Amino acid sequence: MAMDKESIKEMIKSEIPDAVVTISDLRGDGEHYAVHIISASFEKKSRVQQHQMVYQALQGTIDNDLHALAIQTSVPE
Average pLDDT for runs of 10 along the chain of length 77: 85 96 90 94 97 89 75 96
Report yes or no: 33 and 26 within 8 Å, Cβ to Cβ: yes
pLDDT of residue 1: 60
CA distances from 69 to 19, 22, 54, 60, 75 (A): 17, 13, 11, 13, 20
**CATH number of this structure's domain 5-74, picked from the four choices 3.20.20.70, 3.30.300.90, 3.40.50.300, 3.40.50.620:** 3.30.300.90
- Say what the pLDDT of residue 17 is: 97
